[in-house]
Structure 1
């Protein structure tokens, strides 16, 4: 049965707002949480970017819902050994309800220490090595590793959950889906692409969970909701590899000037049409996803939660039970 969760956008909301949303999501009937892990927002209009590990610790104290990072790049900005320690502590704090979403990252967040930004094949190689390092550390044994990209010497994690956190690997193309199938405990991808899901499963993913997500902009005035979505999240309509290589929010703002309101309207559900929201969320379940996370754009969070609690989630759950 499909799980429906809420996506916490750390680029758009301050820490106290994220905690309030986490509580409201549980009260509204959402079954899980996902949270982004960025150093920068995509643009200055979004205006936030809190440290995800601090947020997960705080979230663990205000809700009992599972939490997944959507997603962390464990290869450049923070060494895999430090990511392993952070993930292990998050799993302890959440009582084993933390899942570690991983990806190859974007220059926007990972170039900040001044190193080169590798090409995609090298980033995938780095991710695979990072997963190997973290899995060794999750055993609790003293670990020494000297690899192509990382060195670990005499490292041991002492604070560990009963079971290691599952590592869900993100991907947006066939090679990344195949990598996720080979090394991941699950797959994260943000569009309802049944073919990618199939590639993941054929590459070794089998029946492992597939997670996806979308943003919507609920509001009683659709035109105003569309303007809000375009102002804050036009960057999500940038094509291809561009989002992986632009280095600053200013560059994203420049590129996003090419994104029209019409493009956003075609990609993002705006307004309060129940069937439109149901269709956008159900598309993931229809494509074979096990978990779907919905994030609300803009300030009217309580209106969104009321709408989903009363009009959207009950119908989604009824459909899931029938299936």
Structure 2
């Protein structure tokens, strides 16, 4: 719970509606409680890990997953490590095979401490910080699955004791085939029709960001169809490496097509009118310039600076 939340009069009124004598701890008390809970949870997890390693006699029984990403606004690199371990292996009386239960938990989540997200820096941080701080023996690690980024792969294979245990996670392995199948990967597109269709969907979304009137018209169409304000849909942006987001974008566009088509036609008509007006103004300017040249062929060449596209006209300076 955020300490700032406890200072709001609405929250205090809500709590005291159940307990009029409720007291709210000081901010330092909140901070100490959070730190104590974190340390207790860590100690309990380390004890379970040590017990599991002892049960397996030092053999591989832990799986680790590394995920790193960069904040597009602050360019800060974050890193998260998830541990998967066996818990309470039991045997079903009605079966001859033992049942294996797995548990995954986040063991590390923080800002990447190095300034550059490179393979050697990832190796140093993972081997000398994450593994040591969480008391994880490399012999007890059955596998490490980094995300699809090349730097994560490069960093983990630099650790000798787990080099042969590094593999890309299944979802990231599937990512490349999906991108190839829809034509977004490869030097030569294997599916140009799908690629062209996805580009059209993306152009519609980008138009809603560039022309606010178009986005407003799409929302007005939803309102006119009886969609409540809280349920109005917005066009989805996407990324080339996130096929789930690609699907969401296309799906949303298809749902809103009855509102997108007339809004797009209206935008094109208005934009066409603006282009026609600009073209008419340019034609009038050219005609006036030609007439002025015929009446005074010795005018200065400042008109060429005013109309840089009219290079075919040559003006002699006044002698």
Give the alignment's TM-score, normalised by structure 1.
Answer: 0.23
Structure with bigger gyration radius: 2
Flag the structure with more relative contact order, 1 or 2, with Cα contacts below 8 A and sequence separation at least 6: 1
Choose between structure 1 and 2: higher helix proportion: 2
